[in-house]
Amino acid sequence: MVNIVPLDREKHADKAWRRPAGYSFASKDAVAPIGGSEFSLAASAMPIGFIQQAGRFIPVAVMGLKTGTNSFLGPIGQWLGHYTPAVFRAYPFYLVRAPGAEQPVLCIDEDSGLIVDPGENTEKFFDTDGAPSAAVNAVLQFLQKTEHDRALADLATASLTDVGVIAHWDLSAAIGHETVNVDGLYRVDETKLNGLDDESFCKLRKTSALVIAYAQMLSMGQVSALARLANVQQRMLDVGQGLTQTLTAPPSPIR
């Protein structure tokens, strides 16, 4: 469960937080939103696509071929890829903009299990004078940069939408003995992109949308790598279940 609440000077004054030991909290996240500066690194590690949200397209890193799965996680929450989306690197913190509010608010997931009493290997939320601690300020600056980065990516994606080059992505992959068809993903249509007139092409260049378009198309080659990860993860799960059954089975009768 997730319980995201604003960080409060009074409520959390005597509390601290512990940095997560791994990424188990992301085990159900098949996709993650990414910003413009992430595209070059993400494209070499995982597929990138677009999803529809509130009537617009959002660029996302694709980490699972089934809803509620993340193939980039090992059995103890370790990240298996060489790039981790920025949205996961600030957990348990989030920057949330309330409807109608001008500025986003720093929030935390109170059900993360990382909000604790001050002690060894913990970080304070606030200093003794009530000001945010240096660690919290660092997280806030990171999240502000991440939000700005995602806003630029959204602007570029809107340009791609306006010129009509985003199309449905018919994606399927083999996981074990099953062929998985992925719904709800979109991609850049290379034929339509190459067929744009000069005015539309220049519009994409001015909003840095071309970088996003080409990175997305190149990242589609990572689908096979993602499918291999999913197969490895499934085999690890099968082995774990087999060990559990062996350890819990009654002893065989002596013959």
pLDDT digits over 108-131, tens only?
999 999 999 998 889 999 998 989
Res. 4: pLDDT tops 60: yes
**Residues 30-73 pLDDT 10s:** 999 999 999 999 999 999 999 999 999 999 999 998 889 999 99
The answer to whether residue 243 scores a pLDDT higher than 60 is no
Whether the predicted pLDDT of 151 surpasses 90? yes
Percent of the chain surpassing pLDDT 70: 92
Q: Which residue has the higher pLDDT, 58 or 253?
A: 58
Q: Is the pLDDT of residue 136 over 70?
A: yes
Per 3-state DSSP, what percentage of the chain is helix, strand, and coil (rounded to 5)? 40, 20, 40
Report the pLDDT value the prediction gives residue 102, as an integer from 0 to 100: 79
What DSSP line would sit under 19-59, residue for residue?
A: --SSSGGGTT-SEEE--GGGHHHHTTTS-EEEEEETTEEEE
Can you give the pTM of this predicted structure?
0.86
- Within its chain, how far is the Cα of 39 from the centroid? 13
- For the chain, give every domain's residue range: 4-248
Cβ(70)–Cβ(64) under 8 Å?
yes
